[in-house]
Structure 1
């Protein structure tokens, strides 16, 4: 078979009601499938005020707000309406993008109907409890994730470093790569606008340290702010530019009273904001890829990042940026100080970053997932069955 024979039922915990890197990738992929002649049906929670229009046909799944994070919703069951829609659609593959209750039901439905199931991994859920004083739950969550992913025919990760971690955690026999692409019309050095920087109170010779992303604690906001405090104590000249919104904005603003907060940006405005930085600081360890890191690289910026999944596959230490042990405040500050005080080193790392980013095109990376779909369907047709327990 080829892509035109695909009938994909995609289950997502957040397809378009809050914008994030994961659902942007899913929407791009659905649009790619549709352009190639595949049939796609998406099942996800919906709201009256979504962040953006969805790609493809979206069917609403019953959901409830996440306690303490009401902007997010948990799809808690597969309703009769969803089941009827599935039967009418007649998928030949089920794709689950979140290990939530609906995702579990979708995998069970696929197994019951003899259909292959593929799961995409978008974040390191097992690391979230540590940011809320519940680190003791991490082994429990990892065990639950393992049970979920082992019931799928294959899983795909957005980076080789994340794929290797999933193998080490024994999540699946079949771990592939579905990486991320970059929109080069939006992210390139030509977006740099010095007049815009000046309007924010940033001098032309101010080295700008940037943060891009949703403002939530699991993005490492505490490490970021502690590092900036350390940098200030070293009397290193710099400015901090924060691009994004989220529930921790006020906390972050209180910790960094001298930072410039632009709020949420998208499209050309986001490209201008990223290109207006001189380096990206990404201390998060929860990313499985790091879309923002790739966007910064395409704009010619060096990145100082935690040595963690995602970043390890993008940042070449000492070439396109620096990889630092997670939480190492002093080492983070030293790396940022080096780029703040040495424009030549900054420019060299930025040029290397641009070269690296040129390897990532959306059509190429999306076709890799299409190829995985077709391979898994063919394996099922030849009698291969999902194995629930990889060898330790």
Structure 2
């Protein structure tokens, strides 16, 4: 069986209406599949003005805005007859589920009833989100639902070994081949650093910029970031905070971190410039499954201080490319950042080591592993 024999139905809660790490990974995967002659049809919610044009054929599924202050995301409400008819006509030999939502559960059931190979990928630690929205008591139920979901597919592809271990701890017995992530090595590299751009934001050439990169939402650890900035100020550690990104929590974050420079949303080569213009990348999030932003910082030669949590532990080599800190330990975060600020030689060594390690992460390599998994699953189902 060849890649050109594949007919992949991809189900996603978000494919292009909001730009984030998972959507970029999925669109790059579809592009890789199409380049090999595979047929792909994507089923996901849509809006009138999406963040970017989709790669491949996108079929809109019914959805509603997610409540609780996160209405920039949508919840697909199921698999109606019109979508089922479209699926039957497309006749996939692999179904890819990127989220354990209502749409994903219905698609798994549809594929199982027809003996079609099923692959799931894991992009978001929904179980960790609940504490940020004051409904932490629901986390065990979410884990149970995800365990059932991932045990109904043929393969689960987490982005790293740390997330695979979490799945096994939940009781998931499905094989877990790794689908890592790649990097645009032209966009994210040390040479993109731009002192003039820094100066335009009020960051001097001799000042150390402690950077944040990502959507400005509670679950990214914005509260911890702000508390660590306050601790750095209390200790007299010289620095400037540089925040790159937008999101619904921006106003609250600005109030908590009034001295930070907010550069707003950046994309394309402007994003590469912003990342390379940081001196320390600080990622306190514990909700990542991989942490694309951490890899982007490493590729740009920026040392990393991150929570010792899924994602970061697969990327950051302690004391070599950065430092891993117990989640929410603000004093330990300040210790690590303060050391990097105070030791320019260490800062340069960590950045160079991170750049070398990031060089091994390439989209064409990691996406081919997904294709190989599809072929394995589709072949077994056909047999």
Q: Specify the alignment match of 2:324 in structure 1.
A: 323
Determine if contact 1:9/1:95 at 8 Å carries over to the other structure: yes
Determine if contact 2:153/2:174 at 8 Å carries over to the other structure: no
Paired residue total: 382
Q: Specify the alignment match of 1:390 in structure 2.
A: none
Q: Specify the alignment match of 1:312 in structure 2.
A: 313
Q: Specify the alignment match of 1:222 in structure 2.
A: 223
Matched, 1:292 2:293: yes
Counterpart Cα distance in 2 of 1:82 and 1:245: 34
Q: Specify the alignment match of 2:66 in structure 1.
A: 66
Give runs of aligned pairs for residues 333-372 of structure 1, distance below 5 A: 333-372=334-373
Counterpart Cα distance in 2 of 1:262 and 1:172: 44
CA apart distance, 1:84: 1.4
Counterpart Cα distance in 2 of 1:137 and 1:44: 25
Please state whether the residue corresponding to 1:155 is helix, strand or coil. Answer: strand
Please state whether the residue corresponding to 1:335 is helix, strand or coil. Answer: helix
CA apart distance, 1:376: 1.4
Q: Specify the alignment match of 1:196 in structure 2.
A: 197
Q: Specify the alignment match of 2:25 in structure 1.
A: 25
Give runs of aligned pairs for residues 59-98 of structure 1, distance below 5 A: 59-68=59-68, 69-98=70-99
Counterpart Cα distance in 2 of 1:316 and 1:76: 41
Q: Specify the alignment match of 1:165 in structure 2.
A: 166
Structure 1 ranges of 4+ moved more than 3 A: none
Counterpart Cα distance in 1 of 2:140 and 2:266: 36
5+ residue gaps in structure 1?
A: 383-392
Determine if contact 1:197/1:276 at 8 Å carries over to the other structure: yes
Please state whether the residue corresponding to 1:304 is helix, strand or coil. Answer: strand
Determine if contact 2:77/2:103 at 8 Å carries over to the other structure: yes
Determine if contact 1:167/1:175 at 8 Å carries over to the other structure: no
Please state whether the residue corresponding to 1:177 is helix, strand or coil. Answer: coil
Counterpart Cα distance in 2 of 1:100 and 1:134: 18
Give deviations 1:61-95, integer Å, cap 9, x for gaps.
00000012111100001122211111111100100
Counterpart Cα distance in 1 of 2:116 and 2:378: 8
5+ residue gaps in structure 2?
A: none
Counterpart Cα distance in 1 of 2:5 and 2:242: 47
Q: TM-score with structure 2 length normalisation?
A: 0.99
Counterpart Cα distance in 1 of 2:342 and 2:216: 28
CA apart distance, 1:118: 0.7
Q: Specify the alignment match of 1:107 in structure 2.
A: 108
Q: Specify the alignment match of 1:148 in structure 2.
A: 149
Bigger mean CA deviation after superposition, 213-222 or 125-134: 125-134
